[in-house]
């Protein structure tokens, strides 16, 4: 673990360093993924660019759209009052990441760029149709989060680009979100499966106008359960419909068996967690009314 250390104090300086080192460099945010991967020898960057003195990347902005700076920590997310209610899933996704020590420093940007299939916050952002913005020597570009990660640890970010923010539209009325995760313990768990759901009902709160179901840890990247989503569109959220959505999602996920769980159990968890997350969305919409 030998590298040169850099501590930029502005976004511009950070981007310049990123451009200078390209694939030899890594940005360091909370370090909860990066430093462990480096200690285990999985990553050997020659330059580490710490972002902790870079101002302006740690804001949560809820005017119009919601913007999360890349350096917003999970701790900030879970305590953000404006997320209570329709955006509850963001709180639920953040508050189950590691323990307090992890959440105090681990960032949204790190969660997205690390692109672990088992990440907990990224799936919620995916369910919110978030787009992410990268800033590099060639300027700024935004792309849908769904198009960002393509495999574990592999993203559309160029090595010289800094992820600056994630952004999503505020939800229409009669919307709710929910996040559920399963692990062997109740805390300090990498998800065996996690599910983020978003539901928008029509004005009469009868039928589903829009729905997103995102599954974590059952494919090389977080994935949308499109068949399950499609099946619900225009339908009332009956117990039967929820169960079928769960079953459909289980059918379309592509889990593997590993030391944490078997593929079969993961699929079974998908069915249950999807059903429950959707039910929770339904309850939340009704309660908010």
Partner 1 sequence: MTATRIVGRSLPRMDAPGKVTGTAIYAADFALPGMLHGRVLRSRDPHGRLVQIDASRAARVRGVRAVLTAADVADVRYGGSVKDEEVFARDRVRFAGQPLAAVAATSPEAAAEALAAIEVAVEPLPPIVDVTDALAAGAPLVHEGWASYAALPILHRDGNVCNRARIVVGDVERGFEEADRIFEHRFVTRSVHQGYTEPRAAVAQWDSAGQVTVWSNTQLPFEIQSTLSEILQVPVSKVRVVVPGVGGGFGGKLRVGVEHFAALLARKTGRAVKVMTTSEEELTAAYARQPAIVELKTGVTTDGRLLAREGRLWFDTGAFAGSGPGVASVATLMLAGPYRIPHLLLEGYAVYTNKTNFGSFRAPSGPQANFAVESQMDIIADALHLDPLDFRLRNIVREGEEGPTGQVLTAVGLEECLRKVADAIGWKDRRPAPGRGKGIACGWWTTTGGSSGVYVKINPDGTVALNTGAAEIGTAALTGAAQVLAEDLGVELADINVVSADTLSTPFDFGAQGSRTAFAVGNACRAAVADLKRQVIALGARQLGVDESALELRDGAVVAPAEGKRATLAELARISQASGGGLIAHGTFVAPPTPYDAKRVEGHVYPVFHSPSFHAHAVDLSVDADTGEVTIHRYVVAQDVGFAMNPTYIEGQIEGGVAQGLGQALSEEIVYDAGRVLNANLTDYKMPTAVDVPRIESILVQHPSLVGPFGAKGVGEPPNIEPPAAVANAVASATGVRITSLPITAEKVALALRERER
Partner 2 sequence: MGKLALSLTINGESHDVLVEPHRTLLDVLRTDLGLTGTKENCLDAECGVCTLLLDGMAVNACIVLAVQCRDRTVVTIEGLAVGAELHPLQRAFIDAGAVQCGYCIPGMILAARAYLDENPTPSEAEVREALAGNLCRCTGYQKIVDAVMRAAGAPAAAR
Quick one: DSSP state of residue 207? Answer: B
Distance CA 260, CA 154 (A): 22
163 binds, options ligand FAD, partner 1, partner 2, none, Cβ within 5 to 8 A by partner type: ligand FAD
120 binds, options partner 2, ligand FAD, partner 1, none, Cβ within 5 to 8 A by partner type: ligand FAD
Nearer to ligand FAD, 148 or 168 (CB): 148
What are the angstrom distances between the C-alpha of 284 and each of 52, 87, 181?
A: 37, 11, 18
Q: Does 201 bind ligand FAD (CB under 6 A)?
A: no
228 neighbors 248 (Cβ within 8 angstroms):
yes
Nearer to partner 1, 148 or 179 (CB): 179
Distance CA 18, CA 23 (A): 9
Site for partner 1 in 59-118 (CB under 8 A): 99
Do β-strands 47-50 and 4-6 pair in parallel, antiparallel, or remain unpaired? parallel
Distance CA 275, CA 214 (A): 12
What are the angstrom distances between the C-alpha of 132 and each of 8, 122, 195?
A: 22, 11, 20
Q: Does 187 bind partner 2 (CB under 8 A)?
A: yes
**Of 135, 160, 152, 164, which Cα lies nearest the Cα of 23?**
160
Please count the other Cβ atoms lying within 10 Å of the Cβ belonging to residue 270.
30
166 neighbors 145 (Cβ within 8 angstroms):
yes
Q: Does 101 bind partner 2 (CB under 8 A)?
A: yes
Distance CA 74, CA 100 (A): 9
162 binds, options ligand FAD, partner 1, partner 2, none, Cβ within 5 to 8 A by partner type: ligand FAD
Q: Does 11 bind partner 2 (CB under 8 A)?
A: no
Nearer to partner 2, 101 or 238 (CB): 101
- Shortest distance, CB of residue 95 to ligand FAD, whole angstroms? 10
Among 162, 182, 192, 271, the residue binding ligand FAD under the rule CB under 6 A is 162
What are the angstrom distances between the C-alpha of 11 and each of 17, 131, 134, 156, 186?
A: 10, 19, 12, 20, 38
104 binds, options partner 2, ligand FAD, partner 1, none, Cβ within 5 to 8 A by partner type: partner 2
Q: Does 188 bind partner 1 (CB under 8 A)?
A: yes
Judged by the rule CB under 6 A, the positions of this chain that interact with ligand FAD are 26-34, 36, 70, 96-98, 102, 106-107, 109-111, 113-114, 119-121, 162-163, 189-190
Judged by the rule CB under 8 A, the positions of this chain that interact with partner 1 are 1-2, 99, 182, 184-188, 190, 259-262, 264-265, 268-269, 272-273
């Amino acid at each position: 673990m030998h590298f040169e250390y850099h501590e930029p104090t502005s976004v511009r300086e950070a981007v310049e360093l990123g451009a200078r080192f390209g694939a030899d460099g890594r940005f360091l945010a909370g370090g909860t993924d990066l430093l462990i991967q480096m200690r285990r020898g999985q990553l050997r960057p020659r330059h580490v660019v710490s972002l902790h003195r870079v101002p302006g990347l740690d804001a949560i902005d809820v005017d119009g759209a919601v913007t999360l700076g890349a350096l917003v920590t999970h701790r900030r997310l879970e305590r953000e009052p404006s997320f209570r209610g329709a955006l509850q899933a963001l709180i639920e996704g953040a508050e189950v990441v590691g323990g307090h020590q992890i959440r105090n420093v681990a960032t949204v940007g790190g969660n997205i760029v690390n692109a672990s299939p088992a990440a907990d916050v990224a799936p919620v952002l995916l369910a919110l149709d978030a787009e992410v913005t990268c800033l590099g020597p060639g300027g700024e570009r935004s792309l849908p989060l769904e198009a960002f990660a393509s495999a574990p640890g592999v993203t559309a970010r160029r090595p010289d680009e800094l992820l600056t923010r994630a952004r999503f539209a505020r939800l229409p009325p009669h919307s709710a979100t929910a996040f559920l995760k399963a692990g062997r313990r109740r805390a300090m768990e990498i998800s065996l499966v996690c599910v983020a759901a978003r539901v928008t009902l029509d004005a009469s709160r009868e039928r589903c106008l829009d729905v997103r179901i995102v599954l974590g840890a059952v494919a090389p990247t977080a994935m949308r359960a499109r068949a399950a989503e499609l099946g619900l569109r225009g339908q009332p959220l009956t117990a039967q419909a929820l169960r079928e959505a769960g079953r459909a999602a289980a059918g379309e996920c592509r889990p593997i068996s590993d030391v944490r769980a078997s593929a079969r159990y993961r699929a079974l968890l998908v069915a249950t967690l999807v059903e429950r997350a959707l039910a929770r969305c339904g309850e939340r919409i009704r309660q908010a009314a």
